[in-house]
């Protein structure tokens, strides 16, 4: 099932992003004559893409029919994280109809993890939310070859290199599948349903265990020549010295080695053990009693409670992230910067520091109207963006 020409594809995307509209409104938006729009919409109805949803309010003269995406259209969004899997079923307008999630360990390899994905998709569909599936979008925590639909040398996904994720899930679910990096799908989620709805050019910065950036140009994700555009976690923030932290990539002084979930956990542990923070030391003791360790969330809680060491960790991290973002803003001139991901839970202290550095360091013309905000979608940006990714493909001609 595919639209047959560019006009049909445009009409379908207008209905996906704007909801039900009258034939007259659609005609104006695509600049086609009444009769031509009627022909294309009739064809899309025959193909099963759209349906009539009653009559529009009168604008004088004959009332126009309201058209909507077919109510049976279903997309599946899958967000595979390092430690969890989230699955959602959406309708054609990418509204969430059902969700399922479970803890998972991506290091257990593709066979185990994709079995879990299929189980969760089955669970989300079990109440009849999706008798058929028209497309499946998948995000994974590593670089992806779009051509092969497979991860490529993903650092935190042992066993996944070149594993055919797209073809495996496509065969199991009998639907087209698209795979992308998790940061890119979160950027698409923001573009579809978040603060970025009205913006065409934006940066989405994910601060999780590591740090990455989704680049949206003219409403489309920019992936670079080999798919690793936006890998800002490995930008060197200062000249490496003997005291620079070593990064998971092997280099020293990367942004991610200074800041991010893993770096914060490491620094919090050191502050607790050295006695510099009694708050974190106490928290470490109670975590250790259950066999656990300190995490970035503990640093957030400590800062909230006024612990000066935790406040300084967030401020230093925000400062380094801000330094990198200031350069990116001068280079890219985006209309919006959204910060999301687990560590974005550090919230307003982090945001304040990032803002102050970016506004001070970037060119005034680039920052004059530049909002820097925290994501409002929370955990749903990934699954909505994954559904959006595959819908872009299903609702296009090729």
Positions touching Zn ion (CB under 5 A) are 234, 247, 249, 251, 254
Q: Is the dihedral of CA 249, 252, 256, 259 positive or negative?
A: positive
- Closer to Zn ion by Cβ: residue 58 or 241: 241
- Closer to Zn ion by Cβ: residue 251 or 356: 251
Q: How far is the CB of 244 from Zn ion (least distance, A)?
A: 11
Q: How far is the CB of 316 from Zn ion (least distance, A)?
A: 18
Burial 181-208 (b: 16+ CB within 10 A, else e): bbbbbbbbbbbbbbbbeebebbbbbbbb
Q: How far is the CB of 237 from Zn ion (least distance, A)?
A: 11
Q: How far is the CB of 256 from Zn ion (least distance, A)?
A: 6
- Closer to Zn ion by Cβ: residue 9 or 254: 254
Q: Which residues contact 261 (CB under 8 A, 6 or more apart)?
A: 207, 208, 209, 210, 295, 296, 342, 343
Retrieve residue 108's tokens: 């257990």
Q: How far is the CB of 234 from Zn ion (least distance, A)?
A: 4
- Closer to Zn ion by Cβ: residue 152 or 301: 152
C-alpha distances in angstroms, 147 versus 136, 172, 214? Answer: 16, 20, 19
DSSP 107-153: GG-HHHHHHHHHHHHHHHHTTTT-SS-SEEEEEESS-EETTTTEE-S
- Closer to Zn ion by Cβ: residue 163 or 259: 259
Angle at 200 between CA 196 and CA 201, to 5 degrees: 95
- Closer to Zn ion by Cβ: residue 77 or 143: 143
Burial 78-97 (b: 16+ CB within 10 A, else e): bbbbbeebbbbbbbbbbebe
- Closer to Zn ion by Cβ: residue 228 or 374: 228
**CA 5 and chain centroid, separation:** 29
Q: How far is the CB of 253 from Zn ion (least distance, A)?
A: 8
Q: How far is the CB of 134 from Zn ion (least distance, A)?
A: 39
d(CA 277, CA 310): 8
């Amino acid at each position: 099932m595919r639209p047959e020409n560019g006009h049909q594809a445009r009409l379908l995307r207008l209905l996906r992003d704007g909801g039900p509209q009258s034939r007259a409104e659609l005609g104006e938006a695509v600049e086609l004559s009444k009769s031509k729009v009627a022909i294309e919409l009739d064809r899309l109805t025959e193909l099963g893409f759209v349906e009539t949803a009653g009559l529009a309010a009168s604008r004088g003269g004959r009332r126009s029919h309201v058209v909507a995406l077919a109510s049976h259209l279903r997309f599946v969004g899958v967000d595979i994280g390092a430690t969890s899997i989230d699955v959602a079923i959406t309708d054609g307008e990418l509204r969430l109809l059902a969700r399922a999630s479970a803890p998972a360990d991506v290091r257990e390899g593709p066979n185990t993890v994709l079995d879990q994905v299929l189980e969760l998709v089955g669970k989300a569909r079990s109440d009849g939310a999706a008798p058929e599936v028209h497309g499946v979008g998948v995000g994974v925590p590593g670089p992806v070859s779009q051509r092969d639909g497979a991860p490529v040398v993903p650092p935190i996904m042992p066993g996944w290199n070149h594993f055919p994720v797209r073809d495996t899930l496509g065969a199991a679910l009998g639907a087209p599948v698209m795979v992308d990096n998790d940061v890119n799908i979160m950027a698409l989620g923001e573009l579809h349903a978040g603060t970025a709805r009205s913006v065409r050019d934006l940066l989405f910065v994910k601060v999780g265990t590591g740090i990455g950036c989704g680049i949206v140009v003219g409403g489309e994700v920019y992936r670079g020549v080999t798919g690793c555009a936006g890998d800002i976690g490995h930008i060197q923030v200062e000249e490496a010295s003997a005291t620079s932290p070593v990064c998971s990539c092997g280099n020293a002084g990367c942004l991610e080695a200074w800041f991010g979930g893993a770096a914060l956990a490491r620094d919090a542990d050191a502050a607790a053990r050295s006695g510099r923070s009694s708050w974190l030391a106490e928290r470490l003791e109670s975590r250790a009693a259950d066999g656990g360790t300190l995490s970035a969330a503990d640093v957030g809680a400590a800062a909230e409670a006024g612990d000066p060491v935790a406040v300084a960790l967030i401020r230093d991290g925000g400062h380094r992230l801000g330094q990198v973002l200031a350069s990116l803003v001068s280079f890219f001139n985006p209309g919006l910067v959204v910060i999301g991901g687990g560590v974005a839970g550090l919230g307003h202290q982090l945001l304040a520091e990032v803002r102050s550095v970016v506004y001070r360091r970037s060119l005034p013309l680039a920052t004059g109207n530049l909002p820097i905000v925290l994501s409002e979608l929370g955990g749903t940006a990934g699954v909505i963006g994954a559904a959006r990714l595959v819908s872009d493909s299903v609702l296009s001609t090729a």
